[in-house]
Amino acid sequence: MRRLINPDRVALTGSILGLASLLLGWLTLKPNRLAAGTSLNLSESLGQPGAMAIVVLWLLCLALSLVKLKRGRSIGLGITANILLILTLVLVGLASGRLLEGEPAAARVSLGTGFWVTLAATYTVIFAARRLLDGWHTWQNLVSFSGLVVLAFLLSVGWLNNISVMEEFSGYQQRFVQELLQHMRLFGISVAIGTVIGIPLGIWATRKKHAEKPVFFTTSIVQTIPSLALFGLLIAPLSAISFAFPVLRDIGIRGVGITPAIIALTIYSLLPVVRNTYVGIRQVDPAAIDAGLGMGMSRWQVFRRVEAPLAAPLVLEGVRTASVQAVGLATVAALIGAGGLGWFVFRGIGQAAPDLIVLGAIPVIILALLVDALMRTIVRLGTPKGLGGERR
Amino acid sequence: MPSKKTRRWFILGVALVAFVVLIANTGLWETGLRFLFPGETTVIHPRASLLVLVWEHIQLVAISSGITIILGIPLGIWVSRPSGRDFLPIVTDITSFGQTFPPVAVLALAVPVLGFGLMPTIAALFLYGLLPVVRNTIAGLHAVPSDLLDAAYGMGMSRLQALFRVELPLSARVILAGVRVSVIINIGTAMIGAVIGAGGLGSPIIAGLVRDNLAFIIEGALPAALLAILADQFLTNIENSLAYTNEPV
């Protein structure tokens, strides 16, 4: 008996968390989008049979995390957690439609704490299963991503359209696309400018001893300034300039709006790019440079064919940091009238409409994760062969 | 002849006194802002004096960062001990994954869960601030060379003694760097907390943006920038004054 029991503590924590989440409020039925509403427990939300199925699945997870785990059982654990995730999503979609039947059109169903804690719990179990399946890549990916694929599918077919956030989305669909594009413009332009200025600054700092200190001092001081303060500090001088030169106003340069936003975001992008360019070039092995010079390369050729490729991964890593940071900071830019996904967040706060806040905040997080993943791929592609192994 | 370290502290002290004198001097702000923005009828945010606003801001950050440090460092230590090692992968995963989350989004999501005001702001600042502290605690402890630990055990130290007399002193700089990052992020995010009613230096800026009053914006933005720079320098000084260096590569 003892040989059979060998709990995996992470999976166990996840299972206990999952079972505990069943006691919390799952869905909230609200008479309109601003009202507080009544919280419903698991069986009120999903109905008896659905609730039973979820309880049974969590108990199965609990049992699986207690027994000694071989690969086969780890797969079982991963699959159970995924079924739980999918079943939860499907049932929540069904339940929201059922709860809204016979209610006035203004009524809303929103997701409660229990739902979110269950998501966190399934993630914990999936994480544990993923680790136990180390080396089995196919199963690892299947366990990690099948829930997400199903979520994307359910969203695309409109299964979750009765959930309040999605109802909010359907009311703002056009605006959403517009602000999403604006958000991407804001951080895209600023990171691009920041990179174009930052790389030469970083290189300059490696070449000239007297440049090093001022460059780092300024960029790091600026980095500590709170974003809202920097936006604020830019507004006054910019509006003074645009009043003095009406030409600038005509081309859209004003105190508030996109101009201060892009300037501030560019300034924030500088430090990661400059620092990583500096470190990237400094860490190039002097022997490699000597070898290049010894082969008869000119100083420029050494830079282009030895230093630049060897520094590239770190430089790109700096651009990644800058991009992820800029996605977040661009949200704040909505406060100074530059638009972007922050528009929904701050409008939601202004109207005390929680769903509108979520409609802005969740896409910002997803965008940050996507940009991070994209930039990681670019970093990998930009790493010269024979160098990749050492760094990761 | 004063050492470089003493000089740094001296300069910081002078800067700190100058900052307090500057923000306490409402008359100076009044005159300065009137001169810059002659068109505005009021140039000083009426809700509270600058001193009060700065104090509110410091309290907000001190409370949330305080909880972060009290919980974050032990958490980082625990997952680096044999008793918590099972949780190390998931904790490192969450801290690196979570740092991709924009702090503003975390603050925004605290509103539907906790409502408006001080509580959601403190909760969001605390949660987000945990990430760099936990991550650096783990990184710092892991960078301690294992032969040093072996030497400590060989000298007859218990695990606890080794932790407090070898591992923590050696990783203190890295941990403090995490605390600094966390505090600076919190100062910035706390500004936005003003939108949900947490007070602090964000409130004159928000009021200025709403009423189109540039003087209010400057009144909040300038002290906020100075506060962040001072806090950064203060924590950097503490880091530099620690005797041991053991930076992870």
User: pLDDT-derived band of residue A6, with 50, 70 and 90 as boundaries?
Assistant: confident
- Residue B248: inside a domain, yes or no? no
Tokens encoding B48: 């509270």
Inter-chain touch B108–A361, beta carbons under 8 Å: yes
Does the distance separating the beta carbons of A329 and B218 come in below 8 Å? no
Size of interface A-B (CB pairs under 8 A): 138
3-class DSSP state of B123: helix
Q: Is A218 exposed, middle or buried (0-12, 13-18, 19+ CB in 10 A)?
A: middle
pLDDT digits (tens, 9 = 90+) for A9-65: 888 888 999 999 888 888 888 888 777 778 888 888 888 888 899 999 999 999 888
Res. A391: pLDDT tops 70? no
CB contact under 8 A, A349 and B195: yes
Which residues face A27 on adjacent strands?
Answer: A40, A111
Whether B180 is in a domain gets the answer: yes
Asked whether the beta carbons of A109 and A38 are under 8 A apart, the reply is no
Give alpha helix (H) positions in chain A. Answer: 9-21, 42-46, 48-66, 71-100, 113-132, 137-156, 164-171, 173-207, 209-224, 227-244, 246-250, 258-282, 286-294, 299-302, 308-332, 342-351, 354-382, 388-391
Q: Do B214 and A235 touch (CB under 8 A)?
A: yes
Residue type, A358: V
- Per-residue model confidence as pLDDT tens for chain B (249 residues): 567 778 889 999 999 999 999 988 888 888 888 888 887 778 788 878 889 999 999 999 999 999 999 999 999 999 999 888 888 988 988 888 888 889 999 999 898 888 888 999 999 999 999 999 999 999 999 999 989 999 999 999 998 999 999 999 999 999 999 999 999 999 999 999 999 988 899 999 999 988 888 889 999 999 999 999 999 999 999 988 876 554 544
Predicted pLDDT of residue A3: 61
Q: What is the pLDDT of residue B245?
A: 55
Q: How confident is the model at residue A129 (pLDDT cuts 50, 70, 90)?
A: confident
Q: In sequence order, which residues have a C-beta less than 8 Å from that of residue A340 and are 6 or more positions away?
A: A179, A182, A183, A186, A330, A331, A333, A334
How far, in Å, CA of B11 to CA of B240, rounded? 15
Nearest CA in chain A to B211: A336
d(CA B82, CA B95): 20
Partnered with residue A67 across adjacent β-strands are A5
- The single-letter DSSP state of residue B156 is T
Question: B228 vs A224: CB contact, 8 Å cut-off?
Answer: yes
Q: Which of A8, A324, A331 sits opposite B104 (nearest CB)?
A: A331
Residues A376-386 have pLDDT tens digits of 889 888 888 77
* CB contact (8 A) between residue A364 and residue B102: yes
- Assess if residue B201 is contained within a domain: yes
Is B185 part of a structural domain of the chain?
yes
What DSSP element (H or E) covers B211?
A: helix B202-211
Distance from CA of B154 to the nearest CA of A (A): 31
- Give one DSSP letter per residue of A297-361, joined into a string: --HHHHIIIIIHHHHHHHHHHHHHHHHHHHHHHHHHGGGGT--STHHHHHHHHHHT-HHHHHHHH
Confidence of residue A230 (pLDDT cuts 50, 70, 90): very high
CA distance A335 to chain B (A): 8
| DSSP string over A222-251 | HHHS-HHHHHHHHHHHHHHHHHH-HHHHHT
Contact B104, A364 (CB under 8 A): yes
Kindly identify which residue of chain B lies nearest to residue A125, measuring between CA atoms: B90
Residue B244 has what pLDDT?
Answer: 59
In sequence order, what are the beta bridge partners of A39? A28
Query: Across chain B, how many H-helices and E-strands are there?
Result: 11, 0
Q: Do B225 and A127 touch (CB under 8 A)?
A: no
pLDDT of residue A77: 87
A336, amino acid identity:
I
Domain presence at residue B249: no
Cβ within 8 Å, pair A327-B102: yes
- Write out the H or E segment, with its range, that includes residue B109: helix B103-114
User: How far, in Å, CA of A296 to CA of A137, rounded?
Assistant: 46
Task: Say if the Cβ atoms of B218 and A232 lie within 8 Å.
Answer: yes
Considering only the beta carbons, identify the residue of A324, A342, A357 that sits closest to B100.
A324
pLDDT value for B248: 47
Q: B209 vs A352: CB contact, 8 Å cut-off?
A: no
Give the whole-angstrom CA distance, residue B24 versus residue B50: 7
Which of A170, A145, A27 has the alpha carbon at shortest distance from A92? A27
Nearest partner of A199 among A286, A307, A276, A303, judged by Cα = A276
- Which tens digit of pLDDT belongs to each residue from A60-115? 999 888 887 677 778 888 889 999 999 998 988 888 888 888 777 778 888 888 88
Contact B90 A10 (CB under 8 A): yes
Per-residue CA distances from A33 to A111, A114, B73 (Å)? 13, 20, 41
Cα–Cα distance between B92 and B89 in angstroms, integer?
5
Of A226, A362, A368, the CB nearest to B100: A368
Residue A294 C-alpha, separation from nearest chain B C-alpha, in angstroms: 30
CB within 8 Å: B102 and A331: yes
Q: Which residue has the tokens 């990916």?
A: A141
Q: What is the pLDDT of residue A142?
A: 81
Amino acid making up residue A302: V
CB B227 within 8 A of CB B59: no
pLDDT confidence band for A390 (50 / 70 / 90): very low
CA–CA separation, A352 and A388 (whole Å): 49
Tell me the ipTM for this assembly.
0.88
Distance from CA of A354 to the nearest CA of B (A): 5
B83 by DSSP, 3-state: which?
A: helix
Partners of residue A8 in chain B, C-beta under 8 Å: 86
* B36 within a domain of the structure (yes/no): yes
Using a CB-CB cut-off of 8 Å, the residues of chain B touching A358 are 108-109, 112
Tell me whether residue B20 is in a domain.
Answer: yes
User: Residue A268 corresponds to which amino acid?
Assistant: Y
> What is each CA distance from A25 to A304, A320, B96, in whole angstroms?
60, 39, 30
Neighbours of A155 (CB within 10 A): 16
pLDDT in tens, A160-176: 888 888 888 888 889 99
pLDDT of residue A44: 82
Q: What is the pLDDT of residue A37?
A: 79
If you average pLDDT over every residue of chain A, what do you get?
87
CATH of the domain at B231: 1.10.3720.10
Span A172-225, pLDDT tens digits: 889 999 999 999 999 999 999 999 999 999 999 998 888 888 888 888 888 899
pLDDT of residue A67: 82
The residue range of the domain holding B220 is 4-241
Cβ–Cβ < 8 Å for A189, A264: no
Domains along the sequence of chain A with CATH: 9-161 (1.20.140), 173-391 (1.10.3720.10)
Q: What is the pLDDT of residue A74?
A: 81
Numbered residues of chain B with Cβ closer than 8 Å to any chain A Cβ: 36, 86-87, 89-90, 93, 100-105, 108-109, 111-113, 116, 184, 187-188, 191-192, 195-196, 201-202, 205-206, 208-209, 214, 217-218, 220-222, 224-225, 228-229, 231-232
Please provide residue A74's backbone torsions phi and psi, each rounded to the nearest 5 degrees: -65, -40
CA terminus-to-terminus distance, chain B: 35
The string of pLDDT tens digits covering residues A309-321 is: 999 999 999 999 9
Helix (H) or strand (E) holding B41: none
Domain tally, chain B: 1
Q: What's the CA gap between B43 and B219, in Å, rounded?
A: 8
- Contact between chains at A229 and B222 (C-beta distance less than 8 A): yes
Tokens of A271: 């430090």
In a domain, B246, yes or no: no
Read off the pLDDT band of A4 (50, 70, 90): low
B232 to chain A: which residues are within 8 Å by CB?
Answer: 221, 224
